[in-house]
Structure formats: C-alpha cells, structure tokens
Amino acid sequence: MIKWVVIALVVALALLLWRMSAYASRNLPRAGDEAPDFALADQQGKLRPLGDFRGKWLVLYFYPRDDTPGCVNQAVRFRDAMRELEALGASVCGVSVDDSASHAAFARKYNLPFALLADRNGEVAMRYGSLRNLGVAKFAKRNTFLVDPQGKIARVYAGVNPALNTQDVTDDLKRLAV
C-alpha cells in the first residue's frame, strides 16, 4: 500500500513540474517582440539595464548555475568567440539566479570578458520564459536570445546545446548584422 502512495506522489510531482515547465515555455518571447526590460547587477555589482545595450546586438543567454560542466562549456565558448562577436557588433551577457559574488568567482576562474548578471529572484528569467522553479530551488533554463540594436528579439534559441549555441548565434549574426 505504501508503495502505491509513494508512486502516486512521484507521479503527481512529475506532472506538476511538467506543467510548470510547459507554462514557462509558453512565455518565451518570440522573434519580433520587444525584449523584456531588465536591470540586474553584474559580477562587479554594477547595475546593467537592457538600455545599456541599445544600438548593439545583444546575446543574452540564460544558464542554470555557475561553474557546472554545461555552463562552463557554454561560457568558455562565448569567451573564445568574443572577438568575432564584437566584430559583428554584439555584446554578450550571461544570466543565472546565482549572486554577483558567485558570478565574480566564475568569471575570474575562466577569464570571462562579458557581464554575468545576477537574477537572484528569477524575475527576469521568468519574463524571458527561462525559469525552472522547483519550489525549493530555482534555476534558469538554458535559453539564448539574440536582441537586435533596436531592442527587439531577433532570434530565440530554446533548450540550447552548450557546445553548439555559440556557433548558432555567430552564424545568425553573420546573416543578420549586414
């Protein structure tokens, strides 16, 4: 009997998490939408509003946690592509629910030359349809948004592969930033 109660609870929890995940995915901004506004502290504690990036392309990537394998892979690939991305007129910002101190350590450890933004309460990730809220823990989903110089979403990359994301963004920028 206890076995069936446990199974029922696990199934109910799985359905709840799936429903919350599906709801967040429906909130993904689409290409052509205004990029949801934000003002978040970077790894130095400096407030970085979306408006700071007007007039340039912005690669805004959400990632689950600092210094985890997939997040390191994605971050160092953006780091290694910075010259090319900057030549295409783009800035890069990573966003997670980690705090500025964690971001600072992560940026130092991997020599990351771009802003890592601290979305401690997950509000910005939620506006971008990129928050996984498990009740006791919140994580950003691995989604990337290419924002054009006028502040509109140009491309949405949902559930990205950290090993391929940078190349996909770079290829799209080469086509769009002409």
CATH number at 33 reads: 3.40.30.10
Quick check: is 93 catalytic? no
Q: Which of 50, 71, 153, 169 is catalytic?
A: 71
Residue 22's pLDDT is what? 46
**Lookup: tokens for 174:** 């080469």
Residue 3's pLDDT is what? 67
Domain membership of residue 75 as a residue range: 2-176
Residue 23's pLDDT is what? 46
Contact in structure between 163 and 169 (CB atoms under 8 Å): no
- The pLDDT tens digits along the chain (178 residues) read 776 766 656 565 655 555 554 444 568 999 999 999 999 999 999 999 999 999 999 999 999 999 999 999 999 999 999 999 999 999 999 999 999 999 999 999 999 999 999 999 999 999 999 999 888 889 999 999 999 999 999 999 999 999 999 999 999 999 998 7
Contact in structure between 143 and 159 (CB atoms under 8 Å): yes
Locate all alpha helices (DSSP H) within the chain, ordered by sequence: 2-26, 69-80, 82-87, 100-110, 123-127, 165-176
Identify the three-state secondary structure at position 174. Answer: helix
Q: How many separate domains does the chain show?
A: 1
Residue 136's pLDDT is what? 83
